[in-house]
Amino acid sequence: MTSRDDIEGYIDRIGAEGVLAKEVKPGLWVLQPGEAGPEVVVHFNPPVVVLRVRVMKLPKGVKQSDLYRHLLELNAKDLVHGSYGVDGDDVVLSDALELENLDFNEFQASFDSLTVALASHLSTLAPFRAA
């Protein structure tokens, strides 16, 4: 089983590629790919590790149903790792990886998939952010 130390090692390896990483409390890190990149929270929570990005605040008004449909379509058609969801007043993009057989390549693929998906989806989400 992948340990907390293993996850910390994976984060160090990603950090060597230019991703800024900070452990905010034991088992909880914030990763940022470059100064303008989204903050990805990594939470070691056996039996999984969760990667999560806050995408935006939920818009107020009638566009919420359109937003929900759009997010579900993105989940179905355009995401390899993770899914969009709603947490309180926030839209989030998250992925949970089982620690049982997790290796660095799977961890990095999830991280890369989340950050690339968010970058490519921001333009389609922009109309909802302005609401």
Determine the pLDDT at residue 120: 93
Tell me the domains of the chain and their CATH numbers. Answer: 4-129 (3.30.1460.10)
Give the range among 6-15, 31-40, 81-90, 95-104 with minimum mean pLDDT: 31-40
Q: Which CA distances in Å does 33 have to 18, 69, 104?
A: 7, 29, 17
Burial of 75 (0-12, 13-18, 19+ CB in 10 A): middle
Determine the pLDDT at residue 59: 87
Determine the pLDDT at residue 131: 54
Determine the pLDDT at residue 61: 72
24-35 pLDDT, tens digit each:
999 999 999 987
28-85 pLDDT, tens digit each:
999 999 877 899 999 999 999 999 999 999 988 767 889 999 999 999 999 988 999 9
Task: State the pLDDT confidence band at 130, using cuts at 50, 70 and 90.
Answer: low
Q: Which residues contact 32 (CB under 8 A, 6 or more apart)?
A: 19, 20, 21, 38, 39, 40
**Average pLDDT, whole number, for the chain?**
93
